[in-house]
Amino acid sequence: MVANLQSPNSPVFQSEIKSTVHETLLTPRFYTTDFEKTANLDISAQDEELRTMLEEMRTDYNRHHFVRNEEFERSWDHITGAERKAFIDYLERSCISEFSGFLLFKELSRKLKGRSPLLSEIFHLMARDEARHAGFLNKAMGDFKVSLDLGKLTKKRTYTFFPIEWVIYTVYLSEKIGYWRYILIYRHLEQNPENRFYPIFRMFESWCQDENRHGDIFKALLRSQPQLWDTWQSRLWSRFFLLSVFATHTLTVHERSKFYDMLGLDATNFDHDVIRETNATAGRAFPVMLDTDHPEFYDRLDRCSDLNLKISEINNSNQPQIVKSFRKLPLILGILGHLLRLFLIKPIDAEALRGTVL
């Protein structure tokens, strides 16, 4: 799997500190929001639930978890070529995603201080967790002679504004889909330890509990706002964000198929499992779920992935930019067409389903 061995002392791989990253539509963004509106949110309906989770956050069950042990103290120069690039890309995107969460939560905590003490402290502790994750991932990148200058990255990247309602939807989903990614990889490697090629994967079980807890906090925020789950508009927004997150996941996983090969996972099956589990979990918070059992659901997502890979091939070609743009246009329209058809599939009424279960 990771052949082409070189001496651990090989000078082939030179250290690189990156203050910029290659931007694509799938690169994690840095976000900002309406802090005034956030401070004025009425969260009284979920006050008890939020205070319970705040106590869990204060306990900080993972405070001793993210410690590099002797397993990390070796050379990783034997991982080379496409496999090395695929793993570094995975670490980089994951680090940027965690750091993006840190920046957003830190600013929310600062802006809400003195105005919404409960939320301010919760966001402060969530920022602590995200910073811990990002730092650990950046140290892992250092094992492969690459690291991100997160300070410079903070200043150089453009921030995308999302209304707080969008933040609640998207952060909830990103934390829950992150949980399922981590736990499914962890469970797979527990059964197939020969594919655990780097020690960070041993930490995914506790790591994913942070993701799960953060998701539960945003679930409480969502359920505290009836306009986010008890209106016809909220049903449309729920479908939109579910589909957006799932489509992004499908495209990203297939772009990283080499990484999943290294783990002994089939990228397509892994993607479907993560989406299926996340969709079911979202049904506990959102008013609707997507019908992932519909015969067209995964088929159209996979077609979007195939078209996206063709777009990547065009982007990597040496053709003039105008030629690339013309060649990519029908592919982009094809992706949008599949996503529209997916959006129009009748969703599952999660509120009714919860009522049936109760």
Q: Count the helix, strand and coil residues of the chain and give each as a percent rounded to the nearest 5.
A: 70, 5, 25
Render pLDDT for 297-320 as a digit per residue (tens, 0 to 9).
999 999 999 999 999 999 989 999
Name residue, tokens 């969502």.
222
Q: How far is CA 54 from the centre of its chain?
A: 23
Adjacent-strand bridge partners of 18: 148
pLDDT band for position 15 (50/70/90)? Answer: low
Residue 104 has pLDDT above 50, yes or no: yes
* Mean pLDDT lowest among 309-313, 343-347, 352-356: 352-356
Cβ proximity of 186 and 178 under 8 Å: no
Cβ proximity of 2 and 87 under 8 Å: no
Render pLDDT for 219-232 as a digit per residue (tens, 0 to 9).
999 999 999 999 99
- The CA-atom distances, in angstroms, between 147 and each of 19, 201, 245 are 9, 19, 27
Residue 19 has pLDDT above 70, yes or no: no
In the chain, what is the straight-line distance between the N-terminal and C-terminal CA atoms, in Å? 49
- Give the residue-averaged pLDDT of 336-344: 98
User: What span, in angstroms and rounded, lies between the C-alpha atoms of 305 and 303?
Assistant: 5
Q: To the nearest whole number, what is the mean pLDDT of the chain?
A: 90
Q: Is 349 helix (H, G, I), strand (E, B) or coil?
A: strand
Q: Looking at domain 26-66+75-288, does it have CATH number 1.10.620?
A: yes
pLDDT band for position 14 (50/70/90)? Answer: low
Adjacent-strand bridge partners of 261: none
User: What span, in angstroms and rounded, lies between the C-alpha atoms of 37 and 159?
Assistant: 18
> In the chain, what percentage of residues exceed pLDDT 70?
91
- The domain segmentation of the chain, as residue ranges, is 26-66+75-288
Q: Is 265 helix (H, G, I), strand (E, B) or coil?
A: coil
DSSP at 128: H
Cβ proximity of 112 and 38 under 8 Å: yes
Residue 50 tokens, joined: 């939020």
Q: Tell me the pTM.
A: 0.91
Q: Give pLDDT, residue 151.
A: 84
* Mean pLDDT lowest among 33-42, 152-161, 294-303, 340-349: 152-161
Cβ proximity of 146 and 18 under 8 Å: yes
User: What span, in angstroms and rounded, lies between the C-alpha atoms of 172 and 226?
Assistant: 16
